[in-house]
Chains A and B, each alone.
Chain A
């Protein structure tokens, strides 16, 4: 059976060059990067080279502004809790959006229990925050604005540069979760005006278990993980050198392939959507028609439920995901689609196709050979489908 992986926003295949780059760090260059001897010094050298590469990907002024973490989730936790701890005497108000990743939302909810106040900005029908609402939300005691660069479910891109400018105008620290965006389209920490940026390795064909937090020089932040003096004293714990080296390589590849390769992904993605629109009725796009990650397509198939589509596609070797309640674990449809005002019936029928640089025309052909009959079969079973 052919296998077609269209769930790149969940995770990506590790690039073969990344794997090759990582391998020596398991059995040859296995030293602890903090050690004084040659094993350690050698590991340190490669660790710092990887830092340079990740810094280059986001156009940081200095590699020392990149702190390696275990995942994007840790980066988000570190950014938000770290600023909250450092700035708590200045204020206890945080602004975020209602469509953030749970790594941000649940960290904010945790801080609410600890006495912080959080404003969750609304989004419009495309999933974009309103800048006026942001301006109005900023108070004397606002210490942090945390708004994602691009949404993982819909791919909608936030007006990051404008948000950064608003934050700078008010002297508020700006954190952005760029896990889904950096490496897919150009991203520059200075243009974004961000003090803190979360990054992740495995979303850009790097390995799992490694992320980074960009910390602009001079940003007040407290460490969350205590121990030794690793990572410029920002984050204790022996560095995961193999994964960090892999993340560095993945960043280098992403930067080199630049926009060009993702234009190819965009063409494939648009072709998939055009064919879905042409061959399947009652389809609606979730997310911004233009200001959207080039690899992400989130559509709602009316009158059916997303998990049943995923299961059916899975049996054909095709991997996608859904915002349906049935897969959320808490039996509620996607908070992102809900915030965008998508009606429950449409949210239940949402399916996310997220592509990668490794997908081909043949993948799209294969998917479109399977998808229309699956949708038809499930709709015929549905009590809400108006037929007969």
Chain B
């Protein structure tokens, strides 16, 4: 198999922000066990629409765990407006790339974020 980048391995071995947020502002769960990955993202948003906290739980391969971990780093402290446009390309870039067959893992991170934001908007209205 192609090698994972150092960044991927570092995030896989020392993932940031693992866990759950009680009463999150938004929550997004994506994936299924048949394709191999399940990712759950929790976000806490303050009244200035800034993401003050992000946590994740992931069932999946090294790439899936690293993608979730780096995603939480990328969105923490940012405004909801800012991260709305965050795509899997940004996740990929931050990770220093992924093996071709693992690109879908970064897509899963994008989807988890979208779902968490959707949940946030739904809860707000």
Contact = CB atoms under 8 A, between A and B. Distances in A.
Interface stretch (B43-51, B54-62, B79-87, B115-123): B54-62
A329 B58 contact: no
Given A327-B1, A383-B40, A384-B38, A344 B33 contact: yes
A303 B62 CA distance: 15
Interface in B9-44: 9, 12-13, 15, 18, 20, 29, 32-40
A311 B33 contact: no
A324 B38 CA distance: 14
Interface in A332-388: 332-333, 343-345, 348, 380-384, 388
A312 B66 CA distance: 13
Contact of B34 (A303, A329, A344): A344
Contacts of A381: 15, 18, 57-59, 65
B59 A326 contact: no
Contact of B36 (A329, A348, A380): A348
Interface residues of A, number: 26
A107 interface: no
A308 B13 CA distance: 10
Nearest to B60: A305
A331 interface: yes
A348 B58 CA distance: 13
A384 B60 CA distance: 11
By DSSP majority rule, is chain B's interface helix, strand, loop, or mixed? mixed
B61 A345 contact: no
Contact of B33 (A307, A348, A380): A348
Contact of A333 (B34, B62, B102): B34
A359 B4 CA distance: 28
A307 B61 contact: yes
Contacts of A327: 1, 61
Nearest to B18: A381
A308 B68 CA distance: 14
A383 B31 CA distance: 11
B104 interface: yes
B1 to A, nearest CB: 7
B12 A326 contact: no
B61 A329 contact: no
B92 to A, nearest CB: 17
Contacts of A384: 33, 38, 59
B26 to A, nearest CB: 15
B38 A383 contact: yes
Interface of B: 1, 4, 9, 12-13, 15, 18, 20, 29, 32-40, 57-65, 101-102, 104
Interface of A: 303-305, 307-308, 311-312, 315, 324-327, 329, 331-333, 343-345, 348, 380-384, 388
11 contacts: A305-B61, A307-B62, A308-B60, A311-B4, A311-B9, A311-B62, A315-B13, A326-B63, A333-B36, A343-B33, A345-B33
Given A332-B34, A381-B59, 19 more contacts: A305-B60, A305-B64, A307-B62, A308-B12, A308-B62, A311-B9, A312-B13, A315-B13, A324-B36, A325-B35, A326-B61, A327-B1, A327-B61, A329-B101, A331-B36, A331-B101, A331-B104, A380-B18, A384-B59
Closest 5 CB pairs of A and B: A326-B61, A383-B57, A307-B61, A325-B36, A383-B40
